[in-house]
Chains A and B, each alone.
Chain A
Amino acid sequence: MTKSVEIKDLSITFGVGPSAVKVLPGVTFSVAPGECFGLVGESGSGKSTVLRCVSMLTDFWQGEVRIDGQSVRDLPQQQRCRQLQMVFQDPYGSLHPRQSVRTVLSEPLRIHGIGEREARMRAAMVDVGLPVDFLDRFPHQLSGGQRQRVAIARALILEPSVLLLDEPTSALDVSVQAEILNLLARLREERGFTYIMVTHDLAVVDHMCDRFAVMLHGEITEILPREAIPGNGASHPYARELIGASLEYEGLM
């Protein structure tokens, strides 16, 4: 089942009183079912905050987030977990250091009372391209790329329809980055996931995303199709500058 995501006037303020900081003044965009939508921008522009709000990890925001027309606020927690999962940036921090891969994967199944745990865990391992006997390994026995595959398997095991990807490759070295991106692209093709992907890297956007938004100081300056990258078709000055810088960098390489 592919699901659409709509975000309307999402705003969030951290702190109270005179020291309050409005991090997102009002973000609006929508993602079509099965689309891969990128969020790019400089550090601190609020890309990851958008994901944390959508996933309700941060829950004191205003505005509306709808998955397939249903507000994430109204969804009961258990149901929300089965709609939307997240893959984190740092695979060294997103896996519990004392839990084996088996524990990591079986916990969500246990919480949701899903049966056939063994078979599902094996299927998830195969899906992300890891050998099944890795189930008994601990995170410190895995490489960065393998850890990120486990993190993806954990996100897949509840069979969500929307995946939030928070710079899933930025902590990995280049050859492994490509493997993980290809894995994510393949999974989207097979399962029809809807992706919202935060990244720094316009090359990743070019490879993965159908459309992308350029963010600056918590605001979306422009939403562009992927095709706008090679010719730098942006009209907003910041977006032009960002894409221009990236093209220039790649030209130098």
Chain B
Amino acid sequence: MTDLPLPTRRIPGPLLALRNILTFLIRQPTSAFGLIVLAVLILTAIFAPLIATHDPYVQDLNNVLQAPGNGHLFGTDELGRDIFSRLVWGARITLTIIFLVTIVVGPLGLLVGTTSGYFGGRFDTVMMRITDIFLSFPSLILSLAFVAALGPSLNNAIIAIGLTSWPPIARLARAETMTFRKADYIAAARLQGASPMRIILKSIVPMCLPSVMIRLTLNMATVILTAAGLGFLGLGAQPPLPEWGAMIATGRRYMIDSWWLVTFPGLAILTVSLAFNLLGDGLRDALDPKQMNRR
């Protein structure tokens, strides 16, 4: 038993933890809802060409503002494009935004937070004042300023959202870091000659990760809303991209007579951001330190 090659036995560890977390999430009705919506969103994005009934860009001017039904599940918009197909393709855009923002914001916030929490002193003061400056702007306004400076496009909207949503993550990571900066296991790592970077990466980041993950998931809801808001203001995705916020913006003009133009994109935004909020709440319970012993 002792001479088994051990690395092969270690792989299931994280996988097992993941499975435990997933089972925990499925058991709770609210987080199960979040998980299912997220799964549907991802599947929709992957299989968009198969699910969409029409080409999202093809205009049919004889068929504008059609009510739902008649081969168009959610009706058509002011240019005769099929709203259902546009929503399906829009899922790709939404997921891209969430994914890109998260992979920028997570590491950036973690890096800023853990380093300033660990080193403290003047470095911490400087980093936290910079964070304060970013935090004191309403994120939509700051995104607006960035997009106005960089020019309206989807990529610039993603950069702008990324730049405005790292400070809460950094704050969280810093606060977490400060609670165990003085812990004996950090002192022990220092006594073994570990460099500060090694201590941060190997000892501190794993401790911050659960709360940062929860925060990032909750953050995704805000990201979706900000992206939709920017799209609505004409500063995010540009026509003819089927971005949900932009769809609401153009549909607004026909809202009184043709309710389906704004209702379905609005419902999509609502459902997805609600799903991320519920999932974040569920993750908070699943990753609760008191439950960690069951992993």
Contacts and interface: CB of A to CB of B under 8 A. Distances in A.
Contacts of B198: 111
A112 B190 CA distance: 13
Contacts of A132: 2
A133 B184 contact: no
Interface in B206-221: 206-207
Contacts of A97: 207, 292
Interface of B: 1-2, 6, 9-10, 183-185, 187-194, 198, 202-203, 206-207, 292-293
A108 interface: yes
Interface in A35-87: 55, 57, 77-78, 80-81, 84-86
A224 B9 CA distance: 52
Given A86-B188, A93-B185, A96-B203, A133 B2 contact: yes
Given A93-B183, A94-B185, A95-B185, A57 B193 contact: no
Contacts of B6: 102, 135-136
A57 B191 contact: yes
A90 interface: yes
Given A107-B202, A136-B9, A94 B191 contact: no
A108 B193 contact: yes
B130 to A, nearest CB: 26
A133 B10 CA distance: 12
B156 to A, nearest CB: 38
Given A88-B184, A107-B202, 4 more contacts: A57-B191, A80-B193, A88-B187, A140-B293
B184 A111 contact: no
B188 A111 contact: no
Nearest to B192: A108
Given A77-B193, A111-B193, A111-B198, A94 B188 contact: yes
A111 B185 contact: no
Contact of A154 (B9, B188, B190): B188
Contacts, number: 69
22 contacts: A77-B193, A80-B193, A84-B191, A85-B192, A86-B187, A86-B188, A88-B184, A93-B184, A93-B185, A94-B185, A94-B188, A96-B189, A98-B206, A99-B203, A102-B6, A111-B194, A112-B193, A131-B2, A135-B6, A136-B6, A136-B9, A140-B293
A158 interface: yes
Nearest to B184: A94
Which of B183, B187, B293 counts the most A-chain CB atoms under 10 A from its CB? Answer: B187
A89 B188 CA distance: 12
Contacts of A151: 188
B6 to A, nearest CB: 6
A245 B222 CA distance: 64
A133 B5 CA distance: 11
Nearest to A141: B293
Contacts of A81: 191-193
Contacts of B206: 96, 98-99
Contact of B10 (A80, A98, A99, A136): A136
A77 B190 CA distance: 9
B2 A111 contact: no
The 3 lowest CB-CB distance pairs between A and B, nearest first, are: A94-B184, A81-B193, A108-B192
Contacts of A85: 191-192
B291 to A, nearest CB: 12
Contacts of B183: 93
